[in-house]
């Protein structure tokens, strides 16, 4: 399940650099193009499950396990704080909005459980989430018409 899902984070530094409205839109398209199969797999797993919350918890654990395995290189096998902060931001800007963007009936259940698992597992992982449109519409290209 979710084999190599940690590869979602391969280009995170570049995708998060100098985010503006247009670059966020472009980066989300690239992100979805590369990773849509993971979100499809998650939705199919949710469809097949009788207990949606249990299935979402399983997907959340699988996802977080993969991320932890890839990035835990610090003391005692923990993720370094600056790396954790970058991962948190990437989750907020790309992973959660992509889950919600699928429009799947259980996408909110999945996002809730993934967020809960993330918070429980990572010391610096106290995050929340919102949808793509809310983030996209929060960008401002000009401040007071100056830039």
76 has a pLDDT exceeding 70: yes
Q: In 49-75, where does DSSP find H-type helix? A: 52-71
Q: How far apart are CA 50 and CA 46, in angstroms?
A: 8
- Which DSSP state fits 104? -
More confidently predicted of 37 and 140: 37
CA angle 21, 100, 15 (to 5 degrees): 40
Stated pTM of the model? 0.92
For the four alpha carbons of 21, 24, 30 and 31, in that order, the dihedral sign comes to negative
Q: Which residues contact 46 (CB under 8 A, 6 or more apart)?
A: 52, 55, 56, 59, 104, 106, 109, 110
pLDDT band at 64 (very low <50, low <70, confident <90, very high): very high
pLDDT band at 125 (very low <50, low <70, confident <90, very high): confident
**CA distances (Å), 141 to each of 18, 25, 32, in order?**
12, 13, 23
What percentage of residues in the chain have a pLDDT greater than 70?
94
């Amino acid at each position: 399940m979710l084999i190599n899902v940690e590869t979602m984070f391969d280009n995170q530094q570049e995708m998060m650099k100098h985010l503006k409205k247009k670059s966020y839109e472009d980066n989300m398209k690239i992100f979805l193009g590369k990773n849509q199969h993971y979100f499809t797999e998650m939705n199919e797993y949710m469809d097949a499950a009788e207990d949606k919350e249990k299935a979402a918890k399983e997907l959340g654990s699988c996802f977080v396990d993969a991320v932890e395995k890839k990035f835990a290189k610090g003391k005692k096998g923990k993720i370094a704080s600056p790396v954790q902060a970058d991962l948190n931001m990437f989750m907020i800007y790309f992973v959660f909005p992509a889950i919600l963007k699928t429009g799947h009936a259980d996408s909110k259940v999945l996002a809730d459980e993934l967020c809960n698992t993330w918070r429980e597992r990572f010391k610096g992982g106290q995050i929340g989430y919102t949808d793509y449109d809310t983030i996209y519409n929060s960008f401002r290209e000009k401040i007071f018409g100056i830039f």
